[in-house]
Structure 1
């Protein structure tokens, strides 16, 4: 007959690595606060702890004001190397949560130790808070510029950093920008626009349509609840998003309502048709009942 092992032998007990620290912190709080009902206190304490852990894991786009505050607190040019830990702590101090920072570190392939160019982390965070390439690039000057200007060399390095996030910012685009801006020591948004190097990225409405590979039936439909539903296309998802945001902006201005884009599934032809119908024009290839396809909110 086999012997039954003791229920609580050392071999059976596996203490989670974080348990001692959790219990230590909890015990300190109990001793400090001296609760009358320790069970009720315990329930509240661990519920709050759970909420904090969940919040830290969430990814929430930072505001441009937060990023501006980080940049001025660091007090270094966008392409200057700064200590990673200092930069991350500054981000946390202005309210950028841990989940967002971890996402940015992963996307930008940064480490939490050593040094990193301050502007490169900020450009990743800026892209997270922008709805389109034009907004990302124009916002560089607001977040990291002095009186709306950035040193040309620093700006070109930021464009290289954007190339890690999106292949639209190709070496060819970078070379065209370098040529177009070589006479400038500092640049502002107007200087960049005048190079026309970014035209193919900034004016992406038509290129986004071509990314649909001639299948307009798959595009966009409006569900009547102030929501534009759309598909994400793997070949050029960012251009597709930019196009939808352009349409959204037109709709907002035309109707006085604020529309929300959610992903996925829908048909762009219908939403374009509805927009054209409101403007009294006809969108190529659209049906006469376009207005009914775009059900605007009351």
Structure 2
């Protein structure tokens, strides 16, 4: 029979010195993210941690929207987390997106709806999928673009929510074409008028340049 070491006291248990900080950071992340399935999310969290990947963690706790009568699954905070996880490579596989989506405990039927709406194949252009995610949150075209700016901006919360104009053009053009009812000359004229308001030094456009007057 195999011989096992016998534990006689707690002092014999070797606790890695980094474990308390790991557990502390994990607890803070869980509180901020509020996952619906803690076990599923925890598996995704520690998998990403072990592989040195971006963690499935929100920047801050999101409060429930008082006017939201049903659970829509996706939220701006969760979409921002997905963007941090998947945007660096510009495109991702369907399997990778499904894995990250599931790790955030989001409903798979909502993902399948977005994939079907965008007619995506196995290779997914992330910014196009991101635009659809913003559309699911914003409803109208202008509201969707406002959501996109607030997620992508590097400005502080409550600031001008500026993003590169080139990024705005891609998001707007994709969603406008997806709508199908907007003439190309309307798209071109709108973007031309906005380009006059772009900051010439940094190439950024802010929410107030398009949202207030066109919502």
TM-score, normalised to structure 1, is: 0.40
- Tell me the number of residue pairs that the alignment of Structure 1 and Structure 2 aligns: 135
Whether the 8 Å contact between 1:141 and 1:149 is mirrored in structure 2 is yes
Cα distance in 1 for residues equivalent to 2:87 and 2:162? 15
Higher relative contact order (CA 8 A, sep 6+): 2
5 Å matches for 1:118-197? Answer: 118-147=126-155, 148-183=161-196, 184=198, 185-193=203-211
Residue of structure 2 equivalent to 1:106: 116
Cα distance in 2 for residues equivalent to 1:159 and 1:173? 12
Whether the 8 Å contact between 1:160 and 1:169 is mirrored in structure 2 is no
TM-score, normalised to structure 2, is: 0.53
Runs of 4+, deviation exceeding 6 Å = none
Q: CA 1:189–1:92 in structure 2 vs 1: closer, same or farther (change >3 Å)? A: same
Cα distance in 1 for residues equivalent to 2:114 and 2:126? 13
Cα distance in 1 for residues equivalent to 2:185 and 2:145? 17
Cα distance in 1 for residues equivalent to 2:120 and 2:77? 23
* Root-mean-square deviation over aligned CA pairs: 2.7
Cα distance in 1 for residues equivalent to 2:184 and 2:73? 28
Q: CA deviation at 1:61?
A: 4.5
Whether the 8 Å contact between 2:146 and 2:211 is mirrored in structure 1 is no
Cα distance in 2 for residues equivalent to 1:157 and 1:82? 18
5 Å matches for 1:48-67? Answer: 60-67=72-79
Whether the 8 Å contact between 2:76 and 2:151 is mirrored in structure 1 is yes
Whether the 8 Å contact between 2:114 and 2:133 is mirrored in structure 1 is yes
Segments of 5+ residues of structure 1 without an aligned counterpart are 1-58, 203-298
Whether the 8 Å contact between 1:149 and 1:188 is mirrored in structure 2 is yes
Cα distance in 2 for residues equivalent to 1:75 and 1:131? 23
Whether the 8 Å contact between 1:70 and 1:90 is mirrored in structure 2 is yes
Q: CA deviation at 1:193?
A: 4.2
Residue of structure 1 equivalent to 2:95: 85
Q: CA 1:169–1:141 in structure 2 vs 1: closer, same or farther (change >3 Å)? A: farther
Cα distance in 2 for residues equivalent to 1:118 and 1:124? 10
